[in-house]
Chain A
Amino acid sequence: MNLPTEWYQIWAFAARSLIVNRRNVFAVFEMLFWPGVAILSVGLLTRFLNLDSDTVSFILIGVVSMNTIQIAQLDLSYSLLYDVWSKSLKHAFIAPVRLGHLILGAGLVGLARGLFIFVVMGLLSQQLFAMELGRPGVAGLVIFLAGLFLNAAIIGISVLILVLRFGHRAEVAAWAFSYLLFLLCGLYYPVTILPTGVQWLAWFLPLTHFLDYFRQFYGFPASSARPLLYGFTQSLAYLALSYVGLRLVLNKSRRRGTLLKLSE
């Protein structure tokens, strides 16, 4: 393995993502506007409902998590959509790059953007709604962020699978997929209020465990004894599964000619 070569191949996708983001005013708008609206609207709602500070924190953690994941997964999800939209998918797949290069490259930019949004939203929550984002300490924050980014990666890779399988039609999936996840993992509510069958499903989502872990610091006891163990184990398992799935879909698209169709 030649490290500089590998790095440049990863950087290819990162640099492209950075240029597209820099050149697209709407991408910057999208990154700041929706999270800003989300934190303000939900924060004001909690104020109207006159909720205690820990409950406010419980809800705002959900808002910050959702937006961090959404922004962090976008670069990964869009990395192939850019090629599909511009009909240039062939360039990437005729070159000696591996899926790992694409995932790491686009994922790096997503991670940086996600971190930026997490910090901005955390500061807004702290300044406007008195939420103490720093209460879990540096270790707690780092662990929680790692969990959010792992979830973003799983969503991003799942969207890549859909893009390679269905092309343009998967565009909607980039958003819909994550919202379905948020509905189930107890973003604004404890999963215990979900119907029993759905609750069972929720415990198979790593984000449920990471939220459970982080909310402990705000006075809400975790539902399981080892939320981090479950969260990371599930995340790594799903990450591995989605990576294998992506490889299989790529192989199938080389066999079925989807790769060519998406370049026409």
Chain B
Amino acid sequence: MMGSVEIEQTPFDKKFRGIVEEYIRESNKSIKIVTGEISAYNYFDLRNAVEEAAGRGVKIDVYASGPHTDIINRLIHHKINVFIGDRDPQEHFMICDERKVIVSVKEKNRTKRIGVIKDTANEVRKYMDMFEGLKKNARKQRILGKDPLLAALNHPI
């Protein structure tokens, strides 16, 4: 148990992403994510980790406020539940196995988001409740529209 620890900032968020990837790979029961546009999914390292976790049976729920349709479709295709809501909370976070949380927050006077790891039962409960609250008012998504590759093949550049 470490309580609350701020993740050291490194170029290209290497340390933060490394910890996120490690936590995803270590999860064996559930992952709950709250984010905005799910832009972290564009990172090949994190995308692979989350898709492989879903592949080994980890239940993954993602709440987001404004992701692109292609991202939503790809997540659902990999058996990841996507919920879209109107609120983009200041804190984005990921709860792994209901045991630890990584929070990404944009603090005042800082241009970048900072990452904080929290693993006390109270903190985890707080974020679990926050997730459930957001999910309650969100819409569960299903695959919509044409796959982007098929679209590109029909309209090549």
The answer on A and B forming one complex is: no
User: What residues make up the interface of A, taking CB atoms closer than 8 Å to B?
Assistant: none
User: What residues make up the interface of B, taking CB atoms closer than 8 Å to A?
Assistant: none
